[in-house]
Structure 1
Amino acid sequence: MSGPKLAGEVLPGGGDWQVILPGGLTSIEARYFLKVADGTVIEVTNPGVRTAAPEVIEKLAKGENVDPSAYYFRTTPRFSVKAGPHEWLRRQVFVARGIRKPDSVVIDFYSVE
């Protein structure tokens, strides 16, 4: 993971839970840990939703590559981190856009100013 204010890696062992609901709605909750360049470990709780037409959901379920403009995938991440240089993460609100790849998920985080 990398960005203008933070760089590091997603640690193994996190998890995500999805509840697939009628009408193309998927409720998502992911929990995982980031280890940033200075060694700080940050806990991430990332709830959200993904919506799509039935044919798009079918392609995603099959692991096919789908253009992100074909579905809506947004989350509202929260960060737990000890006091120090990354404490700013607890003092801002974030939204994120998810992109479902065949073998992974890419999440772009944005601070709401």
Structure 2
Amino acid sequence: MTLDSRVKDVGEIKTVHLFDMVVDLDPPLDIGSGPFGRRILFGSAGGSFEGPDLRGEVLAGGGDWALFRPDGAMALDVRLTLRTHDDALVHMTYGGRWTTPSELRADMADSVKRDQIDPAQYYFRTNPLFETGAKQYAWLNDVVCVGAGYLVERGVAYKVARVA
């Protein structure tokens, strides 16, 4: 098969560290099993984020309306509000996928063992987008990001990078 002549080399996709974020979680709310899987709300109880150009707090009230699919994978549907150190508000949304090998699922469900599992043993990736009216952070409205997530005590954490 010949490569389509319209395909161009756009160079390697590169990323630049944006921030690290920790989100503390409220107790989960099990909405139940529906036609697409089991829906659980993991509400945000707060948190923090910090990077070279951006830092502040994750406000309570957002969350992840996670869908546990029949195949064991989790589809993320997250909405959070960030407040920067200089009091600007930023709306952050992301989808993503979290897949865990079946042999780790019992330990992932254990509140003591779950945050001790090496994140390299599971796939937890996100695609954050931002929206803000704050002039000093307007550049966030035009970037696409990727994130790698992992479990921490009482919540989740992410390393978020801007696609350059």
Identity %: 35
Find the counterpart in structure 2 of residue 97 from structure 1: 148
CA contact (8 A) 1:60 1:100 kept: no
Find the counterpart in structure 2 of residue 17 from structure 1: 65
Deviation (angstroms), 1:58: 2.1
SS of the residue corresponding to residue 157 of structure 2 reads: strand
Query: Aligned equivalents of 2:95 and 2:145: distance in 1?
Result: 11
SS of the residue corresponding to residue 73 of structure 1 reads: strand
| Structure 1 ranges of 4+ moved more than 6 A | none
Q: Where does structure 2 lack aligned partners over 5 or more consecutive residues?
A: 1-48
Higher-RCO chain (CA-CA 8 Å, sequence separation at least 6) = 2
CA contact (8 A) 1:33 1:44 kept: yes
Residue deviations 1:85-109 (CA, integer Å, cap 9, x gap): 1011111110011011241100111
**One-letter code of the match for 1:105?**
V
SS of the residue corresponding to residue 141 of structure 2 reads: helix
- Quickly say closer, same or farther: Cα 1:83–1:9, change in 2 above 3 A: closer
C-alpha RMSD of matched pairs (Å): 1.2
Find the counterpart in structure 1 of residue 99 from structure 2: 51
CA contact (8 A) 2:94 2:129 kept: yes
Query: Aligned equivalents of 1:61 and 1:101: distance in 2?
Result: 13
Query: Aligned equivalents of 1:83 and 1:35: distance in 2?
Result: 11
Find the counterpart in structure 2 of residue 68 from structure 1: 119
CA contact (8 A) 2:128 2:147 kept: yes
- With the length of structure 2 as denominator, give the TM-score of the two structures: 0.65
Aligned length: 113
- With the length of structure 1 as denominator, give the TM-score of the two structures: 0.93
Query: Aligned equivalents of 1:102 and 1:60: distance in 2?
Result: 12
CA contact (8 A) 2:98 2:123 kept: yes
CA contact (8 A) 1:60 1:102 kept: no
Query: Aligned equivalents of 2:67 and 2:138: distance in 1?
Result: 32
Deviation (angstroms), 1:24: 3.1
Query: Aligned equivalents of 1:102 and 1:61: distance in 2?
Result: 13
The question of 1:32 aligning with 2:80 is answered yes
CA contact (8 A) 2:92 2:131 kept: yes
- Quickly say closer, same or farther: Cα 1:35–1:83, change in 2 above 3 A: closer
Q: Where does structure 1 lack aligned partners over 5 or more consecutive residues?
A: none
